[in-house]
Amino acid sequence: MINLKDKLKGKVVMLCIGNIERGDDGLGPRLAKMLKGRVPYEVIDAGVAPENQTGVITRLKPDTIVIVDAVYFDGEPGDMKIFSGEDLGSGKISTHDVSPKLLIEYLKESTGAAIYVVSIKPQSNRFGQGLSLCVKKTLERFVEQLENLQC
């Protein structure tokens, strides 16, 4: 599991991205449902259009933004890593789309918030599939970790 304790400072917005119709790519929206009412953060299910949430995020004036998405990186399906917004801009990680890089740049400029990308490696993003077991287990552990940070 990743360590977010020292990163979740001030007002936190969790932006959960993904397509629920494409297997593990739907992990963001699934996480948003799991977190609602269980953590003291603003949790936003951005679906496949996170850029549509920029106005909401800017008005919330967050100190920290955590973007959660399926990301391909070295490792096993279900592995979780955290990257800074700068890592994405430097090409150290590769998302399934170019828009997260532009989104991060815009949010950084408009909010001044610290931005982190919580990445979970998908097993499959095939159309019509649900979440894989390994990604479901990772999400359950992640929710538990976030709840325990409040203790």
- Arithmetic mean of pLDDT over the chain: 89
CA–CA dist 98, 119 (Å, integer): 15
- Report the percent of the chain where pLDDT is more than 90: 75
pLDDT over threshold 60, residue 95: no
The string of pLDDT tens digits covering residues 31-48 is 999 999 999 999 999 999
What pLDDT does residue 30 have? 97
Q: Give the pLDDT band (50/70/90) at residue 4.
A: confident
Distance, CA of 3 to CA of 94 (rounded, Å) = 21
Question: For the chain, how far is it from start to end, CA to CA, in angstroms?
Answer: 18
Domains of the chain, start order: 12-144 (3.40.50.1450)
What three-state secondary structure class fits 80?
strand
**Amino acid 143: pLDDT:** 96
15 versus 103: the higher-pLDDT residue is 15
Token code pair at residue 73: 């990186």
* pLDDT, tens only, 59-94: 999 999 999 999 988 999 999 999 886 665 544 454
**pLDDT band (50, 70, 90) for residue 99:** low
Question: What integer pLDDT is reported at residue 92 of this predicted model?
Answer: 47
| Average pLDDT of span 129-135 | 95
Write out the two tokens for 129. Answer: 């599939």
